Copies of this chain bind each other. A is one copy, B any other.
Amino acid sequence: MNPTTPDTLVEHLRGALGPTAVLTGPEDTDGYTADWRGAYRGAALAVVRPGSTDEVATVVRLCRKAGVSIVPQGGNTGMCGGGVPDASATQVVLSTTRMRRVREVDPANDAITVDAGVTLDAVHEAARAHGRMFPLTLGSQGSCTIGGNVATNAGGAGVLRYGMMRDLVLGLEVVLPDGQVWDGLRGLRKDNTGYDLKQLFVGAEGTLGIVTAAVLRLFPETPARATVWVALPDLGAGVALLELLKKHAGPRLGAYELVSRTALDLVLEHTVGAHDPFGQSHPWYGLIELEDADDAARLEEVVEAGVGAAFEQELVTDAVVAGSPAQRAALWGLREGISEAQNAVGASLKQDVSVPISSLAAFTADVDAAVEAVLPGVRRVTYGHVGDGNLHYNLSKPDGADDAGLLDASDALTKAVYDVVAAYDGSLSAEHGLGRTKTAAAAAYKDPVELALMRTVKAALDPAGTMNPGVLLA
């Protein structure tokens, strides 16, 4: 057999995995070489679809021999282009979507073990079948995969109570850059026998190895809900209300989202059936949800006590409690409709930043001023998972302006936002990762010592630099 080189690699991959697992030609690879939003369109030498961990290891070894780099891809739902190849047509995309086995559910250990290509929805379903719950929820959960959720340390609305994906992973199986398989699929809550290696791979965006399976934490189901929509005089009141609710409800506080009036206006204008719960306009709104195993009536008492105290302190100016599942869905619809409504009004620039919760109001005032100075009239469609200090600080073009103005100013606007984020010791990517979009910006703002440490880790684990190059580190 010929030596494995870039020229013979496809042939060798076909020999090892079978012809149907190796795709070439734009008609077969187009779905894998561009991201779902169409923001990144690359080209691949091949797209491989291994069906097992051993096959992933085979692909990694063959690519390494050939000196060809690998772009791991899950459901291709990432927000920053970290799962699509560059335009060189020299990279191999490794799609995990054929690896869809739920390997084990262990209810008494509150754990589930799944292949990397299992969708988040499928994990929810498998957990539910055993009277358990997996708390990560994302808009893309029908197609995003656990491997991608691990690689990007996915967040979402449940982080306040359950943490990010990092907090939900008990063990991993990873194919390392040299093709060895690390079997770290342990279902232990406590293990202090050395470096916690799984932490290296969570959030590494495929740059240190390919996650092929994971053991995830499960939790008791919490079907009881109390959902409240409140009006707030300002963002600072929203932060104070959060503090008050944490004290009253403790870990039953499952979600705490804030929505600016600008964001709500877009939803009311562009979402069929959306209506304002209140008769008059308010600067900010909060969506509060308490959850528990049972006794929704008790939850309502708790949240009403908390909101009542907030009324007395003038932190809340109006409030409505969801009286039915339909009303609950309508309130969540106001929050979840923002992204789509924003798309309906033309060009937008979406940011996913975090700062210490205590700085949120001051940060927002400063960044509002900074973007106004760059593009007067720019609309600040601010909302987010404020319980975690995470704002989706999105911008839409000024009312009546054309898209070009915003697009031309986008670099300056992004810099204005990031400068203020840096001044508040915040993060320019709270939950979306770096991918291809934000790698250069992160490098520009990071402490050189930290950046050097990241490079040291990368060079140690992937000395050939073939694992998703250009993503996370330039």
Contact = CB atoms under 8 A, between A and B. Distances in A.
A431 B182 contact: no
Interface in A423-449: 425-434, 438, 442, 446-447, 449
B472 A181 contact: no
Interface stretch (A101-109, A257-265, A269-277, A369-377): A101-109
B192 A153 contact: yes
A239 B427 CA distance: 41
A449 B190 CA distance: 21
A427 B196 contact: no
Interface in A229-278: 239-240, 243, 246-252
Nearest to A160: B189
Nearest to A387: B189
A429 B195 contact: no
A463 to B, nearest CB: 10
Nearest to A384: B190
B428 A155 contact: no
A119 interface: no
Contacts of A457: 195, 197, 200, 457, 460
Interface of A: 106-111, 131, 152-153, 155, 159, 161, 163-164, 166-167, 176, 180-184, 186-197, 199-200, 202-204, 208, 219-222, 239-240, 243, 246-252, 292-293, 298, 354-359, 385, 388-390, 425-434, 438, 442, 446-447, 449-450, 453-454, 456-461, 472-473
A191 B293 contact: no
A-B CB proximity, top 10 nearest: A460-B460, A199-B199, A108-B358, A251-B251, A191-B427, A190-B430, A189-B388, A109-B358, A109-B356, A187-B356
Given A356-B188, A456-B461, A449 B194 contact: no
B431 A190 contact: yes
Given A199-B200, A250-B251, A447-B183, A442 B356 contact: no
10 contacts: A108-B240, A111-B356, A153-B196, A166-B196, A176-B453, A189-B354, A190-B390, A192-B431, A193-B434, A199-B200
B192 A357 contact: no
Contacts of A190: 155, 159, 164, 354, 385, 388-390, 427, 430-431
A212 to B, nearest CB: 13
B442 A194 contact: yes
A109 B389 contact: yes
Given A190-B354, A248-B293, 12 more contacts: A108-B357, A109-B358, A131-B247, A176-B453, A189-B354, A191-B429, A192-B433, A193-B442, A195-B208, A250-B251, A251-B252, A453-B461
Contacts of A194: 203, 434, 442, 446, 450, 454, 472-473
Nearest to A194: B454
A222 B248 CA distance: 10
A181 B449 CA distance: 7
A298 to B, nearest CB: 8
Contacts of A208: 195
Taking each of A131, A192, A449, which has the highest tally of chain B beta carbons within 10 Å of its own beta carbon?
A192
A465 B450 CA distance: 20
Taking each of A190, A199, A359, A442, which has the highest tally of chain B beta carbons within 10 Å of its own beta carbon?
A190
A74 to B, nearest CB: 16
B195 A204 contact: yes
B203 A389 contact: no
Nearest to A184: B450
A108 B243 contact: yes
Contacts of A188: 354-356, 389, 425-427, 430
A251 B133 CA distance: 14
A193 B106 contact: no
A355 B107 CA distance: 14
Contacts of A359: 109
